[in-house]
Chain A
Amino acid sequence: MVPKGSIYGFLGPNGAGKTTTLRLILGLLKRQTGSINVFNVPFDENRIEILNQTGSLIESPSLYSHLTAYENLNVLRKIYQCPESRINDVLELVGLSNTGKKKSGLFSLGMKQRLGIAIALLNNPALLILDEPTNGLDPNGILEIRELLKRINAESGIAIVISSHLLSEIEKLVSHVGIINNGAMLFQGTLSDLKRQKLQASGVLFKTNDAIRSQMILKENGIDTQISDDSLIIPAFEPKQISLLNRKLMEDGIEVHEISPINNDLEKIFMNLVSN
Chain B
Amino acid sequence: MNISVINSLQSELLKTRRSSASWIITSGAALIPVIMLINQLIISAKDPLQNAASGYWVRLFLKSWEMMSFFLLPMGIVLATSLIAQIEFKNNAWKQTLSTPQSLTRVFFVKLSVIFLLALRFFILLNAGIFLAAVIPSIVYEKVNSPVDSFPVFTYLKANFKFFIDCLPIIALQFFLSLHFKNFMISVGVGLGLVVASIFALFWEYGYLFPYSYITYDFMRMIGKDRIKDAIDIHLLSVAYFVLITVCSYIVFVSKSEKG
B126 to chain A, nearest CB (A): 24
B8 interface neighbour in A30, A64, A79, Cβ under 8 Å: A79
Find the B residue at minimum CB distance from A65: B91
A197 at the interface (CB under 8 A from B): no
A62 interface neighbour in B11, B14, B93, B259, Cβ under 8 Å: B93
B61-82 contacts to A, CB under 8 A, are: none
Most chain B CB inside 10 Å of its own CB: which residue of A58, A75, A76:
A75
B8 surroundings in chain A (CB, below 8 A) = 78-79
B257 surroundings in chain A (CB, below 8 A) = 29-30
Contact with A along B86-102 (1 / 0, CB 8 A): 01001111111111111
Q: A78, B11: Cβ atoms under 8 Å?
A: yes
A80 surroundings in chain B (CB, below 8 A) = 100-101
Give the A-B contact count at a CB cut-off of 8 A: 87
Q: A28, B98: Cβ atoms under 8 Å?
A: yes
| Measured CA separation A51–B87 after assembly (Å) | 22
Q: A63, B91: Cβ atoms under 8 Å?
A: yes
Q: How many B residues touch A, CB cutoff 8 Å?
A: 30
| Measured CA separation A37–B93 after assembly (Å) | 25
A48 at the interface (CB under 8 A from B): yes
| Measured CA separation A81–B260 after assembly (Å) | 23
Which of B15-23, B115-123, B187-195 is near enough to bind chain A?
Answer: B15-23
Find the B residue at minimum CB distance from A60: B92
B11 surroundings in chain A (CB, below 8 A) = 75-76, 78-79
Contact with B along A74-93 (1 / 0, CB 8 A): 11101111000000000000
B19 surroundings in chain A (CB, below 8 A) = 66
| Measured CA separation A26–B99 after assembly (Å) | 6
B54 at the interface (CB under 8 A from A): no
B87 surroundings in chain A (CB, below 8 A) = 64
Q: A64, B93: Cβ atoms under 8 Å?
A: yes
A27 interface neighbour in B15, B97, B99, Cβ under 8 Å: B99
List the 7 shortest-distance A-B pairs measured between CB atoms, nearest first: A62-B96, A78-B11, A62-B93, A52-B101, A30-B257, A51-B101, A26-B99
